[in-house]
Amino acid sequence: MQAKARQTDALIAGSAALQTERGAVNRFLLVEPEGKVHLYDKRHLFRMADEHQHYAAGDKRIIVQWRGWRILPLICYDLRFPIWSRNRNDYDLALYVANWPAPRSLHWQTLLTARAIENQAYVAGCNRVGTDGNGLHYRGDSRIINPQGDIIATAEPHQATRIDADLSLVALQDYREKFPAWRDADPFTL
């Protein structure tokens, strides 16, 4: 990942199951071109697949500062828990990586849009495609959504591909100033 980040001068991100001193975790790695690595451990373990019996849950949200952007990394099932991704005006982009199966594809798409709208932030969701070892099928449906809930880039279903979109901090800040709903949010955290 570090070599690819250097080669492309981009922030490279992905998740993997890793063994740590706390046990196995589902860890999101974000690697900067200069070599710095940011780590986030999945908070919400998917009980229906017994993740809670095999992995340790993370307990910290992180915000990655990169080239003027504040990025919140999240993993898969975290998407279903809006309090965990709640924007306290501390991030500009929520970045989800997922292993979200086709039967719940509508949930994936709808919840990504909801997180963008309610948090007044860009949301990027990267989901796998294909069939896993248990026979579960994955459509992909990766997408990038603006703070108003508009899909500004999307992958064709069932296609492993890269999607691109132009994100604007200026447009984001302008939108937040014109419609500052975040200022009226209830002041609580987890």
pLDDT in tens, 128-167: 999 999 999 999 999 999 999 999 999 999 999 999 999 9
The pLDDT of 88-98, averaged and rounded, is 97
Say if residue 66's pLDDT is above 90: yes
Say if residue 190's pLDDT is above 70: no
Establish if 189 belongs to a structural domain: no
pTM: 0.95
Confidence of residue 94 (pLDDT cuts 50, 70, 90): very high
Residue 186, pLDDT score: 85
Where are the strands (E) in the chain, listed by range? 12-20, 23-31, 37-41, 64-66, 69-75, 93-98, 122-127, 129-131, 137-139, 143-145, 151-154
Establish if 188 belongs to a structural domain: no
Establish if 146 belongs to a structural domain: yes
Establish if 29 belongs to a structural domain: yes
In this structure, what CATH number is given to the domain that contains residue 68?
3.60.110.10
Range of the domain at 50: 2-182
